[in-house]
Amino acid sequence: MILVVNAGSSSIKVALFRADLTEVMAGQVSGIGGPLAHIDLGTDDKDIAAPDHGAALNAILQSFAAQGITTDQLTAVAHRVVHGGTSLVQPCRITDDVIAGIEAATPLAPLHNPNNLAGIRAIAALAPDMAQFASFGTAFHATNPDVATAYAIPDSDRAMGIRRYGFHGLSYAWIVTQFEDKLPDRLLAFHLGSGASLCAIHKGQSVATSMGYSPLDGLTMGTRSGAIDGMAVLRMADIHGAAEASRRLNKDSGLKGLGGANDMRLLLAADTPKAKFAVDHFCYWAARHAGSAIVAMGGVDAVAFTGGIGQNSAPIRDQIMSHLKFLGDVPVHVVKAVEERQIALDAVTLGAV
């Protein structure tokens, strides 16, 4: 069996798969590092002591053992790693070089990569012989041409890694997997969850995506602004200081900033002008960015929606597609987002079992 690990700052989500990708069990430890750590996995649902990621993963392995799944039955552990930088552009087996690459990409994802590394190191300490694999949230977009990824800024700044990377790559890879041999040539894919992005997928490869250096760019999101002029960002940094400006743009903006709530269900139910404006902004900008992605592919043959909003909200899909009706009849698909399964699939493809 393959254990998929998604290590966040205070939580570790896990999913256990058989080699045929059927899910055996999934769950998480939350509250890591705090007084209220809790495990919810299979039949386990209890408070635990989890001062760090190592203790949390130990609790997860013990919980599996108590439910009849021993560490011996795990053939591999596969990690979700948010940022692979410019060097880690394929799923891979974790070696010292890969760990060094994840460390090198940490300045690009300072809030995420250290947690992913903590998960990798904790498994290495708990089960030193375990094969470990990594799938990177940025890697699917490594096929974007330079003209799409480069910001038109001075050489010396570009040399610092300031360019577009794109995110949600595991979700887009999963969409491609789901089409099997029916993949349309030019697919416009929307991942609409609390984070939202879109991707132009040409013959199965990403050629353009709406997120950039960070996940802030592109579509209006739950709490992120989406695209905003850099000078407006600098003005906000002048007013609030850089850290507070960053917090406002990432945590207090988007649907929350416009509509007062980051939950699309609440906004759709609210029926107030403010909530309606937030929803309209979300759909309008999703379609505006779609126009750019369609240009990058020279047209579009099909559209796919995924993520909590994309999967569940027909009214939002319809409103976005109504902005795109000039395209004529384009088939619209809905795909369930299961990034964990893509990570397990990557590990299986790399020979984990």
* Interacting residues toward ligand ADP by CB under 6 A: 193-195, 222, 263-265, 268, 307-309, 312-313
Residue closer to ligand ADP by CB (options 141, 224) is: 224
Q: How far is the CB of 181 from ligand ADP (least distance, A)?
A: 27
Nearer to ligand ADP, 252 or 301 (CB): 252
Please, where are the H alpha helices in 82-168?
A: 96-104, 113-126, 146-149, 155-158
Separation of alpha carbons 118 and 52, rounded Å: 9
Phi, psi of 252 (to 5 degrees): -115, 10
Between residues 101 and 307, which has the closer beta carbon with respect to ligand ADP? 307
Over its C-alpha atoms, the chain yields an Rg (Å, rounded) of 21
Query: Residue holding tokens 């890591």?
Result: 32
> Cβ 2 to ligand ADP, closest distance in Å?
21
Q: Tell me how far, at minimum, the Cβ of 305 lies from ligand ADP, in Å.
A: 11
Please check whether residue 117 is in contact with residue 90, taking contact to mean a CB–CB distance below 8 angstroms. Answer: no
List Cα–Cα distances, 15 to 29, 80, 214, 236, in angstroms. Answer: 12, 11, 27, 40
For residue 135, the minimal CB distance to ligand ADP (Å) is 16
Nearest approach in angstroms of CB 207 to ligand ADP is 24
Report the residue number, 64 or 174, with the smaller CB distance to ligand ADP: 174
- Stated as kind and residue range, the H or E segment containing 290 is helix 273-297
Q: How far is the CB of 314 from ligand ADP (least distance, A)?
A: 8
Q: Are 130 and 76 in contact (CB under 8 A)?
A: yes
We find the least distance from the C-beta atom of residue 26 to ligand ADP, in angstroms, to be 14
132 to each of 3, 44, 47, 171, how far by Cα in Å? Answer: 10, 25, 28, 21
Query: Which C-beta is closer to ligand ADP: that of 158 or that of 323?
Result: 323
Nearer to ligand ADP, 85 or 222 (CB): 222
Which of 129, 157, 266 lies closest to 213, judged by CA? 157
Q: Are 134 and 92 in contact (CB under 8 A)?
A: yes
Residue 243 to residue 249: CA distance in whole angstroms? 10
Q: In this complex, which beta carbon is closest to ligand ADP, that of residue 8 or of residue 119?
A: 8
Asked if 67 contacts 44 with a C-beta cutoff of 8 angstroms, the reply is: yes
Stretch (H or E) spanning 179: helix 169-179
Pairing outcome for strands 44-47 and 38-41: antiparallel
DSSP β-bridge partners for residue 197: 191
Q: Which residue is nearest to ligand ADP (CB)?
A: 308
CB nearer ligand ADP, residue 291 or residue 308: 308
- Please name the amino acid found at residue 109: A
51 vs 315, beta carbon nearer ligand ADP: 315
| Smallest separation, CB 45 to ligand ADP (Å) | 21
* CA nearest to 137, candidates 8, 296, 227: 8
Q: Supply the minimum distance, in Å, between the C-beta of residue 291 and ligand ADP.
A: 23
